[in-house]
Structure 1
Amino acid sequence: MILSRLPAPRAIRRARLAVASVVLASAALLAPAGALAQGMSSDPTLAQTLFEEGRRLMEAKAYAEACPKLAESQRLRPGTGTLLNLALCNEALGRTATAWGQFKEALFASKKEGNAAREAFAQEHIGALEPRLSKIVLKAESTPGLLVRVDGHDIPAAALGTPIPIDPGAHEVEATASGYSVWSTTVQVAENADLKTIAVPKLQPAPPAQAAAAPPGPAAGGAGSAGIAAGGSAGGGGGEGLRTAGFVIGGAGAAVLGVGAVFGILAAGQASDAEKDPALCPGKQCTPLGRKEIEAAETKALVSTIGFGVGVAAIGAGAILVLTSGRSEGEGASAPGRVHARVVPLLGPEGGGVGVVGAF
């Protein structure tokens, strides 16, 4: 029997090093990205500072200054207590629809958390606000690709013809469609259960030069309606395409990284098993068959290393695309649960929101 001297420990170390490299590099690459995302979306210290300052301003009845601070605190670190204070602040400013929607959201959150005191508090304010809610009804003539906006927020096609709670004050209503002239009007909504009906006429075809220059508008009920439901203005454009591409490329990179990890684990296992098998490598001296097993393990280790490199590069490229695409607006807190209810858009002078109606 011919025995060959095998540097089996070296092969095993190489395979294990490939696995360790994948794991450590993944952590090194993804942890900063996660930390960056966490820093962008959640800062507990700043959130608490803004909450306390907002509360101090509310106690001084400086509601116009307090509401933005509470809103930013809620964005940084969503919480039912902060949301209730924000609703109280908007109620004090006369933003009845905004406050009503926030109390509704806080009611669902309190139900989910099992906090009966907060649930009762939110329900009490909802009951007091509902008879006072002012609303608008948007009725539109059929126009292909019609998109209706109120204060820059897209209104889903399904919401047309439905009374939508809205804050008192002046609101801009706009209707657009690709190849048609823009129609707009201003509506003044009064306090205490005012109801305004806006009839959007059939849009007129745009002059040829204007139609050629105008970019196609988004379809009704698409990204814009999602922006309203999230409590902010609609985002989109080229940045959204880059963001999507970044996630796709990053996801592919993560998949390749996973393949590299699998091959690294297989390599380490195959080399280790060969070394421990007395029929293949007795006394660390391998037979030709044992040598083939070790060489196969080294090949898997090489595939693992290549997969690791490609995966890291793809994830890095995806992260760059996502971070340079800009951040979508309207990333507010959503309702934590649904209890036999439906969501309707709410509109205010400083942003969109949602209302929830149904049985609780």
Structure 2
Amino acid sequence: MILSRLPAPRAIRRARLAVASVVLASAALLAPAGALAQGMSSDPTLAQTLFEEGRRLMEAKAYAEACPKLAESQRLRPGTGTLLNLALCNEALGKTATAWGQFKEALFASKKEGNAAREAFAQEHINALEPRLSKIVLKAEGTPGLLVRVDGHDIPAAALGTPIPIDPGAHEVEATASGYSVWSTIVQVGESADLKTIAVPKLQPAPPAQTAAAQPGPAAGGAGIAAGSSAGGGGGEGLRTAGFVIGGAGAAVLGVGAVFGILAAGQASDAEKDPALCPGKQCTPLGRKEIDAAETKALVSTIGIGVGVAAIGAGAILVLTSGRPRAEGASAAGARPGAPGRVHARVVPLLGPEGGGVGVMGAF
């Protein structure tokens, strides 16, 4: 039998180093990430203070002052209780569509949390608001590249021709397209169960001396309808999404690297201790094969850890440079801000007298 000197300690050291790298890399990444998260996350003290002040103003029926404080509390620390209170505040202000959308969000959140009392509370207000909702229907002629806005917010083409809940009051409807003159009008929406149909005509070509109409940029978020929160800038959200995807993939690769490191350490150690494979630290050909296999796993582990760490770092950079996402709050009587929750749902336009956004029907 041919025996070879066992360089097992090298394989074991390489495998153990790979596993240690995972621990050190995780610590290096998580430590600043934790500090950063604390710096960027909500301020619970300020959120609680604003919530209590908003509740006090609501009890004094100073709704115009209370709603912004509750909205900011919800932005700092999203919670179903704050969301319900904000919905109540907007309902008292006559912003029926905004309140209806926020009650819808709170309903889904309460179902997710298993809070039957809040769920029933939200459903009761939804049922009361729905018959009173005013709506607009936007109809547009086929102008190439047409973009319709309400209160400065882009309306998706799929929403044209569909009745959209909207807060009562005056709203500006604008239509633009590159190379065409801008068309706009003001529509006054009634307080209860009003339905306004706005026919956007085919746009006229811009005069030759006039430069082509500039492409509209991202619309600012504002008071909503049919949902609670406005979408922020598309570019920032795209970077955040890419950052989380890349970071998640990096974490997965890092995990694979750790697994291969553990397997390599175990395989090399077992071979070294097996008297049939490596008697007296001298390996048989079969033992040598086991050691080589362990070194291959250790190499895969090292590569996986390097790629994983790099991907997580790149993802973190993308998230940090994307800016903080905008979240619009909403609100149940006497409830305190709770822990934030999220649920996926459909996106709908948000329209209000102070602006617009893209709303998400679901729990947050």
Q: TM-score w.r.t. structure 1 length?
A: 0.78
Judged with a 3 Å threshold, the aligned counterparts in structure 2 of structure 1 residues 59 and 216 are, in CA distance, closer, same or farther, namely: closer
Per-residue deviation at 1:56? 1.6
Cα displacement string for residues 22-51 of structure 1 (whole angstroms, at most 9, x for unaligned residues): 244135414643664576454444433322
CA contact (8 A) 1:105 1:336 kept: no
- Deviation of 1:138 after TM superposition, in Å, equals 1.5
Measured after TM superposition, the shift of residue 63 of structure 1 is 1.6
Cα gap change, 1:258 to 1:209, in 2 (>3 Å): farther
Change (3 A) 1:232 1:298: same
Q: CA deviation at 1:279?
A: 1.7
Give, in whole Å, the separation in 2 of the partners of 1:42 and 1:291: 56
Q: Secondary structure at the match of 1:212?
A: coil
Change (3 A) 1:102 1:238: closer
In the superposition, relative to structure 1, how do residues 333 and 306 fare at CA in structure 2: closer, same or farther (>3 Å)?
Answer: farther
Query: Structure 2, unaligned stretches of length 5 or more?
Result: 332-338
- Structure 2 CA distance, aligned partners of 1:220 and 1:207? 29
1:232-262: CA deviation from partner (whole Å, max 9, x where unpaired): 4444454455445544543553354244224
The answer to whether the 8 Å contact 2:220/2:356 transfers is no
Q: Which moved more, 1:208-217 or 1:116-125?
A: 208-217
Task: Name the CA shift for 1:351/1:113 in 2 (closer, same or farther; >3 Å).
Answer: farther
Distance 1:58 1:145 in 2: 45
Instruction: Find the aligned partners of 2:344 and 2:218 in 1 and give their Cα distance.
Output: 31
CA gap 1:304/1:117 in 2 versus in 1, 3 angstroms: closer
Shift of the 35–339 alpha-carbon distance from structure 1 to 2, 3 Å rule, reads closer
Match of 1:316, SS?
helix
Deviation string 1:115-172 (CA, Å, 9 cap, x unpaired) is 4543443344334434433322222112233222212222233332333222122222
Percent sequence identity over matched residues?
96
Q: Is the 8 A contact 1:149 1:174 kept in 2?
A: yes
1: CA distance between counterparts of 2:344 and 2:309? 45
The answer to whether residue 255 in structure 2 is matched with residue 258 in structure 1 is yes
| Aligned partners of 2:166 and 2:226 also within 8 Å | no
CA distance, structure 2, for counterparts of residue 45 and residue 5 of structure 1: 65
SS of the residue corresponding to residue 266 of structure 1 reads helix
2:314 and 2:184 map into 1 onto residues whose CA distance is 42
Instruction: Work out the CA distance in 1 between the residues paired with 2:148 and 2:171.
Output: 13
List runs of 5+ in structure 1 lacking aligned partners.
none
Per the TM alignment, residue 274 of structure 1 is displaced from its structure 2 partner at its CA by 1.0
What CA distance in whole angstroms lies between the structure 1 residues aligned with 2:194 and 2:172?
17
Number of corresponding residues: 357
State the 1:285 CA deviation: 3.7
Q: Following the alignment from structure 1 to structure 2, what is the Cα–Cα distance between the partners of residues 183 and 137?
A: 17
Counterpart residue number, 2:7: 7
- Contact between 1:227 and 1:330, CA under 8 Å: does it hold in 2? no
Deviation by residue 1:278-304 (Cα, 9 ceiling, x = unmatched): 122123343455345334423432342
- In 2, distance between residues paired with 1:330 and 1:230? 12
Distance 1:98 1:132 in 2: 12
Give the deviation of 1:18 after TM superposition: 0.8
The question of whether the paired residues in 1 share the 8 Å contact of 2:108 and 2:362 is answered with: no
What SS does the corresponding residue of 2:21 show, helix, strand or coil? helix
